[in-house]
Amino acid sequence: MKHSYNIKILVFLLFLILLWDYLNSGIIIKQKLFPQVLEDDNDDKKISIFILAGQSNMVGRGGVINKVWDKFVPPECSSDPRIIRVNENSELEIAKEPLHAGLDHPSKTCGVGPGMAFANAILKKVPNFGTIILVPSAFGGSSVSEWASSNSSLREKMINRTNQAVRYGGKIRGLLWYQGETDTQSEWNMRNFPGEYHKFIHILYKELLHPRVPFIQVALASGQGKSDLLERVRAAQLGMEDIITVDAMGLAVKSDGFHLTTMAQVHLGNMLADAFLKSYI
């Protein structure tokens, strides 16, 4: 009788343990990936979340020639256990180049972008910054209207994956945005660009529920249409208020005429890090 009672107690305790593991799965994952934050788990500054969105230059085509990536990873873009990414399955993993692998258009080839250089630059400049979670969400060839539409699948996926990252702990610290080349392709796109851009930012903050998150945009270095359309899109970008702008004009562009080279992406990542830290400190 006593033996049967002991077995029931053990089964009940096992059930409680399994239930606790299920309800706290996010905490368990965080402990495995982020051992350095356990000393002060209540300090959400230990984990900083950054969203990377826009189109192909944010995805990164550095090192891609004829749809083949040369696999060259500059030291500034190397992996670090303190830099995590949310992958295509909304799971956390150590980030590495190409950062947008599995997330871009299936017909495109991902190469080096600014994200890893950005994260590494922050950790170099602020060694005690903590852990960085990157949420790569850019999509090659996307127009601003695709991001701004009421039923945008691109924006929905970005928001959902960001919310998944928040579940693991930490706080959204910024959104890095590099988009506009597609909107230089035609007069119609260019005319609609300013209104659609304002609409996108308005909807974005409403859905993110984080109105004070810095929005850091990259002013175009190149376009896919006539030079006057590029300048007009750039003028709309540079005229935006209440956001932070990093100007990519002058950075080296590949022979295709509009994608940044690998080292230009490294330089851009450093520029983005400097812009963020000025707003953060």
Catalytic residue among 48, 100, 142, 259: 259
- 259 included as an active-site residue: yes
Catalytic residue among 78, 227, 256, 279: 256
3-state secondary structure the chain: CHHHHHHHHHHHHHHHHHHHHHHCHHHHHHHHHCHHHHHHCCCHHHEEEEEEEECHHHHCCECEECCEECCCCCHHHCCCCCEEEECCCCCEEECCCCCCCCCCCCCCCCCECCHHHHHHHHHHHCCCCCEEEEEECCCCCCCHHHHHCCCCHHHHHHHHHHHHHHHCCCEEEEEEEECCCHHHCCHHHHHHHHHHHHHHHHHHHHHHCCCCCCEEEEECCCCCCCHHHHHHHHHHHHCCCCCEEEECCCCCECCCCCCECHHHHHHHHHHHHHHHHHHHC
Catalytic residue among 56, 143, 152, 222: 56
- 56 included as an active-site residue: yes
List residues with catalytic annotation: 56, 256, 259
